[in-house]
Amino acid sequence: MKLEFMSGNMAIAEGAITAGMRFFAGYPITPASDIMEYLAEVLPEKGGLVVQYEDEIASINAALGASWAGVKSMTATSGPGFSLMVEALSLAAITETPVVVADIMRAGPSTGVPTKTSQSDVFQVRYAPHGEHLIPALAPWSVQEAYDLTIKAFNISELVRTPVILLSDAVVAHMWESAIIKDVNEVEIVNRKKPSTPPNEYMPYKPDEDLIPPMANFGEGYKVLVESLAHDERGYYRQSNDVYRKLIWRLINKVKRHIDKIYDYETYYLNNETEYLIISYGSTARSALAAVRDLRRKGVKVGMFRPKTLWPTKEEVIKEVTKDVKKVFVVENNTGKMVAEFERYIKKAEVVSIPILSLDIPTPEEILEVVSSWL
Amino acid sequence: MSRPLTIRDLPREERFAPGHRMCQGCGAAILMRHITKAVPKDTIITQATGCVEVTTTLYPETAWKHPWIHVAFENAAAVASGVEAALKALKRKGVIPESKDVKVLSMGGDGGTFDIGIQALSGMLERGHDVLYIVYDNEAYMNTGIQRSGATPFGAWTTTTPVGKVWRGEWRRKKDIISIALAHRVPYVATVNPAFLPDLYEKIRKALSIKGPKLIHAFSPCVPGWRYEPELTIAIAKMAVFTGVWVNYEVENGEFRVTTPVPKRKPVEEYLKLQGRFRHLTAQEISEIQKYVDEQVEHINKLAGKVVIGPVER
């Protein structure tokens, strides 16, 4: 364990190394490029490989290939690059391939303001990939959390056999803070479940009780079939409602079944006297918390809820933290997106969307001003 | 006109406006200034994402006096195809007169052409659109901070091919984009260099006079990416030609012609030593690069059918 002064992107790279990532495939894009640059310097010394591909499509597909070869792999990009990766994310979902994709959000659409921050990809990571899937997404708010959540992202992807999105942004990416970097034996590392059956009995998509099939990799003596068509437990394409329903519901339910391992959040000043609740996430939550403190100094009974996991939402948690409050403010650096997701579960309290578009993060004063007008 | 064109013969009118944010000494800026002199006023330019795009169009300003469209990173050639097809349709429908000859120019950097844009480029060349595509090649992704590309030469340092105990800079050779274009049987391809502007001007004029898809590969020194002082841009561009690292040539309907013959070559270290990105190279690595250049020169001479690029003279 050591304390290091580093940027959020360096923390993602370090977190990935701690988690055991040994293959990074990438393509340059601001503000994510320095993850690849940092790894290009340090990963070869760890016996890992960094390859820069010809585009984002090749990068994520290479990462999927490496995962099937038995190596923990990742790629990193920003909004426009993520758009090119979404086809492969659907592929990763149906083939149940563990992989981590870091999306360092910048102000879009398109080239937008490429060096500045935004939280406008929160729906893209959930809904852009085609077909049915439930791909988890984690959003760090600090350099320390960029490190911790990267490890968590790998653990989830290995445990549940799913792609996981690490949804950082330009502010967290290029902010420098102290962070505690741990050794491998000081942190819980999850590795994919291996088959215990002999090779001739192995079925690549036959789940255990936990809905997750053990994963044999190429070259381990098992028949490995990576099938993008809707498949049965053997991995063979079957055009039938039974097979399709069983497969899709298992892909969704295996994530929901492990929600306690996936969902993470933090609350601030939340007790049974809290009247107002601010919900905020990622870099914007830093300003939101400052605004909460200012309001409390003025005597307003306000608390804060900060989800670290943006997708999927744990319904019970949202219901629990909002059960006694009158009003909920959802503060985010976009035109008001995650508010729709929270609103689905908040039945009693009034929900107010506070969308503050800001190329840097919204300032505490801006948040204070808008929230105060709704009190 | 038998007298060779000189720099004084180039148009005086500037169509690449000053005030853009390109670096002092930028090779691509010199290229853009003279490319825009060579193409007619109403030429439509499609531009891929890259250094030139971001530094010339900072809202609410633009350096472009031509009609100009920026698209995504990977599809400048596809958009040029669409623009060219639209011009055809407008002529067919009588919206613009048949006699009006509007040229389409598409430009991208090496990343947007050699790597992510090659699919769109190949499609454009294959479909035979009447478009001139110019790639300004600064041999890495300079806009995002010097990451390697398919155009990065052997031995060059970049942030994703760092120099350390395990890696020694780029270990792969540069992709041959001209051969890729020629494989599409296009009527005209050429290489140009900012140190040889009359040659650049003539090639662009010639390319525009030919119907069909054309590709021009432009050498584009990069001050921050290649690690040299801004005043050395033209010296480096010249030295690339004098060492045989870069050869100015054209292939017109299969006919190969070197436009800047070099009777006596300089050793490759004369070019390498001007740039910080090569400063880690050992004598052995330099001799390996010399070998690669010798191979390339031999190939060029074979295509030319005579010795146009001479031997190294120390």
Residues A290 and A182 in one domain: no
Task: Report how far apart, in Å, the C-alpha atoms of B210 and of each of A36, A326, B154 are.
Answer: 43, 73, 34
CA distance B307 to B258: 10
Q: Which of residues 61-120 of B touch A (CB under 8 A)?
A: 70, 72-74, 111, 114-116, 118
Query: Which of A186, A218, A249 is the last residue in one of the domains?
Result: A186
B188, β-bridge pairs: B214, B252
What distance in Å separates the CA atoms of residue A26 and residue A62, rounded to the nearest whole number?
9
In this predicted structure, the answer to whether residue B2 has a pLDDT above a threshold of 80 is no
Question: Which position has the token pair 């004029």?
Answer: B205
Domain-located, residue A213: no
Quote the number of domains for chain A. Answer: 2
Question: In terms of domains, do A165 and A296 share one?
Answer: no
Residues A42 and A159 in one domain: yes
- Report yes or no on A292 lying in a domain: yes
**B16–A contact, CB cutoff 8 A:** no
Q: Which of residues 32-61 of B touch A (CB under 8 A)?
A: 49, 54
- Residue entry with tokens 């436009």: B259
Give the residue from A136, A152, A186 where a domain finishes.
A186
* pLDDT tens digits for range B248-285: 999 999 999 999 999 999 999 999 999 999 999 999 99
**Rounded Cα–Cα distance for residues A308 and A23 (Å):** 25
Q: Which chain B residues contact residue A80 at CB under 8 A? A: 72-73
Angstrom distance (rounded) from CA B41 to CA B10? 15
Residues A20, A122 within the same domain: yes
For chain A, what is the largest distance between any 2 Cα atoms, rounded to a whole number of angstroms?
70
In a domain, A237, yes or no: no
Check whether residue A141 and residue A22 sit in a common domain: yes
A226 part of a folded domain: no
Residue numbers of A between 91 and 110 with CB closer than 8 Å to B? 110
Q: Does A29 touch chain B (CB under 8 A)?
A: yes
Q: Is residue A311 part of a domain?
A: yes
Query: At B308, is the pLDDT very low, low, confident or very high (cuts 50, 70, 90)?
Result: very high
Tokens of A253: 């339910």
pLDDT digits (tens, 9 = 90+) for A251-303: 999 999 999 999 999 999 999 999 999 999 999 999 999 999 999 999 999 99
Q: Is the pTM of this model over 0.90?
A: yes
Buried b (16+ CB within 10 A) or exposed e, A151-169: bbbbbbbbbbbbbbbbbbb
Closest listed residue to residue A61, CA positions, set A110, A27, A32: A27
Domains of chain B: 10-304 (3.40.50.970)
Asked if A296 and A174 sit in the same domain, the reply is no
A273 and A144 within one domain = no
For residue A287, what are the domain limits?
A: 265-374
Residue A324 touches chain B, beta carbons under 8 Å: no
What is the four-CA torsion angle of A277, A280, A283, A288, rounded to 10 degrees? -30
Same domain, A45 and A167: yes
A151 and A54, same structural domain?
Answer: yes
The predicted pLDDT at position B166 comes to 83
A173 and A284 inside one domain = no
In a domain, A242, yes or no: no
A44 within a domain of the structure (yes/no): yes
Burial class (CB in 10 A: 0-12, 13-18, 19+), B215: buried
Query: Domain of A370: which CATH number?
Result: 3.40.50.920
The answer to the question of residue A75 being in a domain is yes
Mutate to test the interface with B, among A54, A57, A84, A104 (most CBs of B within 10 A): A54
- Which of A186, A209, A244 finishes a domain? A186
Measured between CB atoms, which of A30, A37, A45 is closest to B160?
A37
A177 and A301 co-located in one domain: no
- CATH number of the domain bearing residue A166: 3.40.50.970
Quick: pLDDT tens for B57-116: 988 999 999 999 999 999 999 999 999 999 999 999 999 999 999 999 999 999 999 999
- Residue B165, chain A, CB below 8 Å: the answer is yes
Same domain for A17 and A151? yes
pLDDT(B3) > 90 = no
> Across the strands, what pairs with A100?
A74, A164
| CB-CB under 8 Å, B74 with A41 | no
User: Which neighbouring-strand residues pair with B108?
Assistant: B135
For residue A330, which phi and psi values (nearest 5 degrees)?
-105, 110
